[in-house]
Structure 1
């Protein structure tokens, strides 16, 4: 079993998603489906995965879509994929740890393909920290809200990861979450200039 801190790993991966322009919503949902499996197996070094179950968790209907996003995550260093060509044996996945297990410091984000992964980063100065965008809501609040509404745990992770990756700052995230659930747990970029105005209009139209 790997020494993995659940919160630090998620925070680190969110930072990576924020800075990686290649990342799309599909990458996030697929990664979180693997992460939930990894967490439930106590962060084993390598996990055996069932493609159908992972696709269901990530809300993928196409095998091609699944394999395309999985190939990206593998090539970009977010995980290592070991396919199984035997019908009775599942494929294996090794998740990349984005922090030093001894010091619990966050690691650098996944770099460009020409660079190597770095195991740790220097502490940011107080001035730089003050410049970072503030997310009004945190993961525990989202998880609790989803639990109260009897919505799947994995969807709470997906919702929080996506909103945070877009650096939206809103105190009306519960409204967006309701629309997210009503739309079969799918989020789309708002077309208007305001981060939440499109969702608010949708809310009014659907009388939520």
Structure 2
């Protein structure tokens, strides 16, 4: 919850950013993980109701650029990608 409370106060984040972050947090909760969460694009898209790849990639990349997540893709079909979550302090310039 402390991550979410930081995210919702950032005026740079819109509903799509928050939806993606909430989906990642939900997956982390299910996995019993805090910061390092295994994800799949299809699962996040399903949870967020994002229906197009360009929209998904746009907002996912913006979250990386803003410093909220670090994405480590897995190119192996048997392994999921990993997202690390970060709390960004609003006083930092990013």
Superposed pair shares fold, TM > 0.5? yes
* 1:14 match: 8
How do residues 181-196 of structure 1 correspond to structure 2 at under 5 angstroms? none
Question: Which protein has greater RCO, CA pairs closer than 8 Å, 6+ apart?
Answer: 2
Q: For the Cα contact (< 8 Å) 1:84–1:91, is it kept in 2? A: yes
Query: Going by fraction, where is strand more abundant, 1 or 2?
Result: 2
Give the number of the structure whose alpha-carbon radius of gyration is greater: 1
- Structure 1 residues not aligned, in runs of 5+: 1-5, 99-106, 114-208
Q: 1:75 aligns with which of 58, 65, 79?
A: 65
- Structure 2 residues not aligned, in runs of 5+: none
- Could you list the structure 1 runs, at least 4 aligned residues long, displaced by more than 6 angstroms after superposition: none
| Alpha-carbon shift at residue 110 of structure 1 (Å) | 7.0
RMSD: 1.9
Q: For the Cα contact (< 8 Å) 2:7–2:18, is it kept in 1? A: no
* 1:50 match: 40
| Cα distance, 1:57–1:70 mapped onto 2, change above 3 Å | same
TM-score (norm 1): 0.41
